[in-house]
Chains A and B, each alone.
Chain A
Amino acid sequence: MIEKITAYRFERLDETLSQLNREDCAIIAGGTDVMVLHKSRRGVPPKIPKPIVFINHLSELKQVYQHHKDLHIGACCTYSELLENPLIPFALKNAIKTIAAPAIRNRGTLGGNICNASPAGDMLPLLYVYNAKLLLRSVNGDRMVAISDFIQGPRQVQRFHNEMVTEIILPFVLGDSHVVFEKVGNRNADTIAKVSFAGFVRISKDRIDDIRFAFGAVGPTMVRSIDIEKKLIGKTIPLADADIAEIVAAFDKIIRPIDDQRSTAAYRKTVALHLLRYFLSMKQYQPN
């Protein structure tokens, strides 16, 4: 039984967008999420219910450049490409190195990780603390959305079917900032995060100018709280034990992970808070 599928592969982005405007399609960038999602049992090809549009060859989606000091990353840059690019921040590269293994990193894209919106997507915690914005384009024009507004829940994003994510924008950060990412998986490669943590802090003269945290794999989307972050602005480093305890307690209330085949809710929560406390307890922060 041979099933017919329709697949499009246009030379240019505008043609691709016109097609998306005509027809609701399944976008495939690297395909490393799509193919797994639609996998059939052995011996049967994956079943993708819509026509397919391939986009990962489009040169418009593979640029990395600075504009007004903001960093623009093309949605279809693969992880391997980003690892080689001098403009990409170290923290992001370190996170990329925790993703999958080289073969998948040769295909998987940053845009794909975002649009797949997995609670365990490993690029997401950092993109949240970088306050990343997404450029969405359709035949009607462009719009910009904050990543935290774009991602609504597991595999749910705020995208119209005629739109495509074209760029990920990391806004310029003033001064020296210290950024960390920690991924906790069951092994060191090809693993799905059980918990992940991203921390961002900018200090001037021992005072906290800006501080941000995001937790992955402990809720339907990344857990971030601007209200909690605000409590630390202006505090001096090293933080007092009482301040640290207050922040940890505040996150303790909003982190509500689940038990599954990969770990337990108790473990996820404990470790998330450990990583937060560790970040907050640092005596000094090296800019990176």
Chain B
Amino acid sequence: MNLKDISTSVPKKDHKGKVSGQLPYISDVKVENMVYGVLYRSPIAYGKIISIQLPNLPDGYEAVGAEHIPGPNYVKIIKEDQPIFANEWVNYIGEPILMLTGKDLDILYSLLNEVKVEFEEHQAIYTLDEAIKQKSVSLVLASYEFGESLENISAIEQGAHQIIEEEYDTGYQEHVYLEPQGMLAVYKDDEIVVQGSMQCLYYIKNALLSALACGDDEVRVVQSPTGGGFGGKEDYPSMMACHVAVAARAVKKSVMLVFDRSEDMLVTTKRHPAKLKYRTALDKEGNILSMYVDIFLDGGANVGLSSVVLQRALLNSAGVYKIPHFHAKGYVLKTNTVPNGAFRGFGAPQSFAGIESHIGHLSKLAKIDPLAYKRKYLVKQGDPTITKGKFRDPILVEEMIEDVLNVSEYKKKKEDFQRLNQQNQRYKKGIGTSLFLHGCGFTGSGERDHIKAKVKLVKSKDDQVSLKISNSDMGQGILTTLCKIVAKELNLPFEDILYPYPDTKEVPDSGPTVASRTTMIVGKLLERAAKKLKNQWQTGVEQEVVEHYVHREMIPWDEKTFTGDAYPAYSWGVNIVEVEVDTLTGNLKLEKVYGNYEVGKVIDERIMKGQIDGGLAQGLAYGYLEKMTSKQGRIQQKSISDYGPPTSLDIVSIESKVFDNPYADGPYGAKGAGELTLIGGAPAVQAAIEDALHTSFQQIPITPEVIIESLWMKEGEEG
């Protein structure tokens, strides 16, 4: 490939299939001897199953439950606490108890209505607040604590001029991937092939090896074109894969399980609701002396990936700031609600919303412009991280801030808005900023100890090169970017590089498609593999090269003490958001959105722009628009319109820029970019709303309901 600069955009590999509508997703697939599966789900939030009574099943219709699972009855993720089919206790509304299979969905739905399960109901815990109040160890699914000793912190607090305490709440977020979850198990005598919408082929394969208690060559996992993931297809598909595979084994037929939107919204994982508590000691001028942070995540009914989400939440609890004397503690608590799981940002969006809000409020106390106050504490190259790691690489945030201040005319707008707001009783304008980072790749030594990524390049006789990796393109564009890296390295036309949808029979485990690791880690391995292949290149000969992950030793990560380098590298971002708030309705109009980012090196400009625009839309919406609630353990919003993700009329065009800062261990200098772009949206929107209304908020999403209530309370106070 002859691009001068790798960043120059090329047509996406999957462009035609998607634009023409020809690309078949899993729900489009039909195979011979296929039946559908439908799940009987727990109607109660917490209780014991006493008995199960099945209706008379017509010919060709069968029931599959825990008794059909050859291996242990749990979905292998981290802990063994999530049953494949609940058979003793149910822990949330919607928990799968059994599956009915058969040819006709209509008949299956009516049979489902006739299943009778008797429960002994127990008192459920429905909310994070209830779980916190209970103070029961049995509800703690995970916890970590780190930072400066509490004696030091309290000594500083005693000498402080003022101590500020704040409590901040963040809500659910739903992924709303365009394609709902779907999984098919193709039954063969000697093999079960599971295919579907997924991010992590080997997570699924490992879960299947455990559930089916079978040999490595008896299961195979194949990714189908995946219409969006956002983390929602990181952990959840493992459970669905177990359902269809166990069922296929039991009924000796291929089994298809596909959710419609409402089932998907009601039962699949969401972003963890969180409560964050800050206690900060200040001196007379409002300077920060110390900070103590408590984080509580609502894990839902089982731990799943929550412990790792909590780690990332904690690692980001001080934001992009160097806080003197910092201490943090975090818990995942169990509630009898839908399990929460991976979601773009993975704990960081909660933490950044909280810390940016808190620092913003501290700046008001100090009577300093929020951005000026934030800049006083900005970390610099060479500074330690809060876990005694180190920010090794150059940090460009100051330049990025200066640039976006100019482009947005921040100072002028602040003044203009003040004036305009005095003239306009109904509509109030505001401008807000956020500063953020994202640690790229797995936390700590995860890449070295758990993932151990391996990639393969295979060259055919006609000199076409195929990528053999287990990573999923879910719309983010790796079919294109990873091929570009290999094409450029081999100096071959982009079209000659193939990246077939991965199949575990063909591809080694290059790790899951998560944690903003794919371009940086897998891309780097591919770059190295391509170099190797180039050196050995023999025209017209089949060739194969393999590359293994090599760990760059830094300050070793210790999960117990929570110290060391949590990430090999960081990507950075600055957002500025302008809003107009309708004080009669609380409705918000985004007027302008700016984003400056630093992701090492961009591999494809258009794809990066897609990540920026999409990530920001999702992040902004997390701050003011998307609202999901659970009542007595039941999710209330089961349609897209009730939940309200942004439409093209809600988002304005986003002015963005990406700064080059090549990273030695990324391909062409690239770092992670996928999650970063979401993180700054919510805090910037909150800051803008606060600027418009001169009010502080202690939660996201800041919905019109929240705004109206706060304006009403303010009115009450003022007269």
Contact = CB atoms under 8 A, between A and B. Distances in A.
A83 B695 CA distance: 40
Contacts of A184: 585, 587, 704
Contacts of A263: 705
A41 B264 CA distance: 12
Given A42-B260, A261-B629, A274-B584, A188 B650 contact: yes
Contact of B647 (A44, A189, A267, A271): A189
A44 B584 contact: no
Of the candidates B105, B426, B629, B648, the one having the most CB atoms from chain A within 10 angstroms of its own CB is B105
A191 B645 CA distance: 10
Nearest to B589: A188
A101 B641 CA distance: 12
B711 to A, nearest CB: 9
Nearest to B621: A187
Nearest to A276: B584
A262 interface: yes
B647 A278 contact: no
Contacts of B587: 184
Contact of A192 (B258, B584, B641): B641
Interface in B87-124: 104-107, 109
A266 B705 CA distance: 9
Interface in B398-422: none
A44 B625 CA distance: 32
A42 B263 CA distance: 9
Contacts of A266: 709
A278 B644 contact: no
Interface string B244-260: 00000000000000111
Nearest to A98: B649
A175 B559 CA distance: 77
Given A42-B258, A267-B708, A186 B585 contact: no
Contact of A42 (B105, B629, B636, B708): B105
A189 B648 contact: yes
A190 interface: yes
Interface residues of B, number: 36
Query: What size tier do the contact residues of chain A reach?
Result: 20 to 34
A180 to B, nearest CB: 12
Contacts of A103: none
B644 A187 contact: yes
At the interface, is chain A mostly helix, strand, loop or mixed?
loop
A114 interface: no
Contacts of A101: 647
B261 to A, nearest CB: 9
Of the candidates A40, A194, A261, A275, the one having the most CB atoms from chain B within 10 angstroms of its own CB is A261
B647 to A, nearest CB: 4
Contact of B259 (A42, A191, A274): A42
A190 B585 contact: no
A199 to B, nearest CB: 13
Contact of B637 (A43, A44, A261, A278): A261
A189 B106 contact: no
Interface in B177-221: none
A251 to B, nearest CB: 15
Given A101-B647, A186-B627, A278-B584, A44 B109 contact: yes
A264 interface: yes
Contacts of B704: 184, 186, 194, 267, 271
Interface in B624-681: 625, 627, 629, 636-637, 640-642, 644-650
A191 B104 contact: no
Interface string B579-593: 000001111000000
Given A41-B109, A44-B105, A270-B712, 12 more contacts: A1-B104, A43-B105, A184-B704, A186-B627, A186-B644, A186-B704, A187-B625, A188-B649, A188-B650, A191-B641, A267-B705, A270-B708
12 contacts: A1-B106, A40-B109, A42-B258, A42-B260, A44-B109, A187-B645, A187-B649, A188-B647, A188-B650, A189-B649, A270-B708, A274-B585
> Can you list the 7 inter-chain pairs with the closest CB atoms, starting with the nearest?
A42-B260, A188-B649, A186-B644, A43-B105, A261-B636, A274-B584, A189-B647
